[in-house]
Structure 1
Amino acid sequence: MAQSKLFTLDKLRFAFGRINERLWVKPLLLCVLSIGGTFIAMLADTMGLSSVLPDITLASVESLLTIMASSMLVIATFAVGSMVAAYASASTGATPRSIPLVIADDVTQNALSAFIGAFIFSIVSLITLQNDMFDAAGRFAIFALTLLVFAIVIITFVRWVDRIARLGKVVNTIEKAEKAAGDALDRRRHAPSLGALTASPHQAANKGVPVCSSKVGYVQHIDLEALQACAEAHNCHVTVAVLPGTFAHTRLPLLHIDKDVEQCKAFETEAFSSAFTIGSSRTFEDDPRFGLLALSEIADKALSPGINDPGTAINVIGTLVRLFTLWQSPVEIDRLQAITYHRISVPELLIDDLFDDAFTAIARDGADMVEVSIRLQKALFALAGTDDSAMVAAARKHSRMALARSEIAMSLQDDIDAVRKTAEFSALPPITEPNAP
């Protein structure tokens, strides 16, 4: 029986992508390096350098390390408090879905790691010094390392102060969500079917014997390398029925195997379903729709009566236009992923789904605001001017829907006329023939 590989390159890539969302990883690494640096300094005593290096007094080194030990713990505690406040601000001011992006901020993680690492280094170095574990060369090495750590901490602190002032703010969160969505969209447009054959929506829904999930949650990642190995071992073809971001349950097929029922009875279907990573929440890396949804939620929250910030919604609409412009821009041939999984078919993302995630909530909750409605119509007009016939059709559809909502929600006829004038392009005849790729 074929078994799913425990480690594949795709699984490792996904696992490393999750590391940035764990606050303890980088501080742990810095703690290990700090302890290692103290004991590496002992090597200076074994190299016969005591006669050529300056003799640093024990009291001066201990004084520096004592200052560092007492100050770094306070600064680390202050850093944690500031980070928690920034996370709470991102959750209440933007959307809780943006928390992983804020946590993954490199400057903040590096600052916390540097502060904790410096504290551990100073404590370990003090203990070793007070127990006479260093000679003259070792004391000089510890002194030099202490000055280096001080310099790193000061530089890190200056950078971190600038970042913490903006971390958790809505504008900063929008930038992070745009980058996450843009990266995911860019990867997907260069690998529309993830390196497998392209499956039509009809194939994904109806072809072959279904294999369902044993877990309930969101599909976070699909290990196509492991799935290809299972298909080769059983000499079958697999059609993936769900993409990352889909909510899976025990009655929803993850994939279909191109065999009859009797043949599939002999299969170890757990090996197929284990290629799907299912968790309690969605992730940004392999799920472009989640990035668009997070941006839409930020705009939607700004339109709520309690916040009443149409400017943020208008900012998000501009961000969405940039992302859809990226999506329909020409692909780079040298980055286009070749089809390497010939026994797997994967459906492509549908532009209608992307537009639903991006614009539906904004059009619904901003329907009574003339400035938001007009900016939304202008954005959809810009997207309708592309050469992508599917995007043109989606833009016109959402323009008509947004206009209908505005006509119902607005009470002033002049506002309705202004929105209608901006939305005139949506009444044009639909495109019947798709453009050639």
Structure 2
Amino acid sequence: MVDRLRFFLNRIKERLWIKPLAMCLLSTASVFLAKMVDVTEIGQIVPLITLSSIETLLNIIASSMLVIATFAVGSMVSAYASASSTATPRALSLVIADDVSQNALSTFIGSFIFSIVALIALQNSYYDKAGRFVLFVLTLSMFAIVIITFVSWVDRIARLGRVNGTIDKVEMATAAALQRRRLTPTLHGVPPGTHVPGGRAVYGSLIGYVQRVDINALQKYADKTAIRITVAGLPGTFAAPGRVLAYVTADLGDFTDIDICQIEKAFLIGGERKFYEDPRFGLITLSEIGSRALSPAVNDPGTAIDIIGTLVRLFALWCAPIKDNENIRIAECDRVEVPEICLRDMFDDAFTGIARDGAAAVEVMARLQKAFESLATIEHPVMRDVAICHSRLALARAESVLKIHEDIEVVRRLAKFGNSV
């Protein structure tokens, strides 16, 4: 339930209108709540605030906030376009979900609505002495919040959409997804048995990507109908008619009472992949940023080298020992079999594009070989074998493109670690 809630909260954060709407409602409510103090005895002790002083502040906010909000929207759209063109469009959802920018835009719009509604209430003699004092305090507070928000937001918008900032966001999202999958490698299900998946195949009726699999829903239905379900479509899998999402095996071999639609509903399918439950998507996004940096139009091998270092950190996190304060979650759904992510596929997602597009840049290939050597020394037998395999593939690509003998020898010398590890 917690994972489901977090998943949908992340989807809400990608909608720019949610927070501004909430702030507008809160601002309007605060204007009318200020009237409630008029029925109390506070009016006997608070100072008298003239209407002109409150109206002056509200007029300043009303005349300036709409302009600032328009400026904020323009700056954010420019940052989004920059993130799509300089990094990759796949990272746009993370840039849009930036909390500081959304909070700033919400504050500017909310303060504008607050000032308009408060002015209308004042000019219609809605408040008595206590209500005017509370409204005056609220107006001063709103003014201070706007100033603090604007100052902090200007510093943030200067970095929003830049390549380094986008890389950091993608790394954080990927690291969080890897950490969740590291602690729940089978998504609360059980590992598949040694048998080849069989039984009745469940196909998707929608075309898109699996964004989430509700393992608990599958478990409930499996308990109810005495079946076992083997998940074939992990988050990130392309779904289409003819592609299997799951296999169903009945304990008694009778499929007549099984509703395949109930199983299909457990697979949330959308038009694009999401970072939250799809660690491989984060690796692909980082690889795309590195490949774009190596294109002739950009020609920025330094960014590709930074990406390689980021990928090494992420794979080191994936293979890090479980700490005392980290517990691998016990499988709760014994009737749902879920395969783990294949490390070789993760390496293909992360390094193939950079090795292909950076084969002609000796500095990139040298750093790539150093990265593979670092990963090969991690105490993880599968990691070592996959790192050596990709090291040899990268060397082959470099040898087929590099024309200067000395450059080839540099890459060959660095790739020799595979013979001694």
The worse-fitting range, judged by mean Cα deviation, of 272-281 and 328-337 is: 328-337
Alignment of 1:58 onto 2:34: no
Q: What is aligned with 1:346?
A: 338
Q: CA-to-partner distance for each residue in 1:7-28, whole Å, 9 max, x for gaps?
A: x554333211211111111111
Q: What is aligned with 1:34?
A: 27
Q: Please state whether the residue corresponding to 2:190 is helix, strand or coil.
A: strand
Q: What is aligned with 1:434?
A: none
Equivalent AA in structure 1 for residue 307 of structure 2: V
Alignment of 1:355 onto 2:315: no
Of 217, 235, 244, the match for 1:244:
235
- Distance in 1, matches of 2:248 and 2:6, equals 26
CA 1:261 to 1:373, structure 2 compared with 1: closer, same or farther past 3 Å? farther
Q: What is aligned with 1:140?
A: 133
Q: What is aligned with 2:356?
A: 364
Unaligned ranges ≥5, structure 1: 1-7, 430-437
Q: What is aligned with 1:14?
A: 7
The worse-fitting range, judged by mean Cα deviation, of 254-263 and 311-320 is: 254-263
Equivalent AA in structure 1 for residue 380 of structure 2: D
Q: What is aligned with 2:205?
A: 214
The worse-fitting range, judged by mean Cα deviation, of 79-88 and 233-242 is: 233-242
Q: What is aligned with 1:199?
A: 192
Q: What is aligned with 1:408?
A: 400
Asked if structure 1 preserves the Cα contact closer than 8 Å seen for 2:175 and 2:317, the reply is yes
Q: What is aligned with 2:65?
A: 72
- Distance in 2, matches of 1:265 and 1:427, equals 57
Equivalent AA in structure 1 for residue 260 of structure 2: T
Asked if structure 1 preserves the Cα contact closer than 8 Å seen for 2:197 and 2:230, the reply is no
Alignment of 1:290 onto 2:281: yes
Matched residue count: 420
Equivalent AA in structure 2 for residue 237 of structure 1: R
What's the TM-score, normalizing by structure 2? 0.97
Asked if structure 2 preserves the Cα contact closer than 8 Å seen for 1:374 and 1:418, the reply is yes
- Distance in 2, matches of 1:350 and 1:231, equals 26
Asked if structure 2 preserves the Cα contact closer than 8 Å seen for 1:381 and 1:395, the reply is yes
Equivalent AA in structure 2 for residue 181 of structure 1: T
Equivalent AA in structure 2 for residue 288 of structure 1: P
Of 73, 77, 81, the match for 1:88:
81
Of 377, 382, 390, the match for 2:382:
390
Q: CA-to-partner distance for each residue in 1:179-201, whole Å, 9 max, x for gaps?
A: 0000000110011101110126x
- Distance in 2, matches of 1:226 and 1:13, equals 17
Q: Please state whether the residue corresponding to 1:250 is helix, strand or coil.
A: coil
RMSD: 1.4
- Distance in 2, matches of 1:123 and 1:216, equals 46
The worse-fitting range, judged by mean Cα deviation, of 407-416 and 420-429 is: 420-429
Q: What is aligned with 2:109?
A: 116
Equivalent AA in structure 1 for residue 90 of structure 2: R
- Distance in 2, matches of 1:281 and 1:172, equals 22
Q: Please state whether the residue corresponding to 2:338 is helix, strand or coil.
A: strand
Displacement after TM superposition at 1:424 (Å): 0.5
Q: What is aligned with 1:433?
A: none
Asked if structure 2 preserves the Cα contact closer than 8 Å seen for 1:212 and 1:252, the reply is yes
Asked if structure 2 preserves the Cα contact closer than 8 Å seen for 1:218 and 1:278, the reply is yes
Displacement after TM superposition at 1:227 (Å): 0.9
Q: What is aligned with 1:3?
A: none
Which 4+ stretches in 1 moved above 6 angstroms? none
Asked if structure 1 preserves the Cα contact closer than 8 Å seen for 2:177 and 2:276, the reply is yes
- Distance in 2, matches of 1:302 and 1:427, equals 31
What's the TM-score, normalizing by structure 1? 0.94
Unaligned ranges ≥5, structure 2: none
Equivalent AA in structure 2 for residue 411 of structure 1: K
- Distance in 2, matches of 1:218 and 1:9, equals 22
Q: Please state whether the residue corresponding to 1:263 is helix, strand or coil.
A: coil
- Distance in 1, matches of 2:188 and 2:234, equals 13
Q: What is aligned with 1:273?
A: 264
Equivalent AA in structure 2 for residue 175 of structure 1: D
Equivalent AA in structure 1 for residue 130 of structure 2: A
Of 398, 408, 413, the match for 1:421:
413
Q: Please state whether the residue corresponding to 1:243 is helix, strand or coil.
A: coil
Q: What is aligned with 2:142?
A: 149
Q: What is aligned with 1:309?
A: 300
Q: Please state whether the residue corresponding to 1:258 is helix, strand or coil.
A: strand
Equivalent AA in structure 2 for residue 66 of structure 1: N
Of 101, 105, 120, the match for 2:98:
105
Displacement after TM superposition at 1:368 (Å): 0.6
- Distance in 2, matches of 1:256 and 1:53, equals 71
Alignment of 1:190 onto 2:187: no
Asked if structure 2 preserves the Cα contact closer than 8 Å seen for 1:208 and 1:260, the reply is no
Displacement after TM superposition at 1:262 (Å): 7.0
Asked if structure 2 preserves the Cα contact closer than 8 Å seen for 1:10 and 1:225, the reply is no
Equivalent AA in structure 2 for residue 186 of structure 1: Q
Displacement after TM superposition at 1:264 (Å): 1.9
Q: What is aligned with 2:315?
A: 324
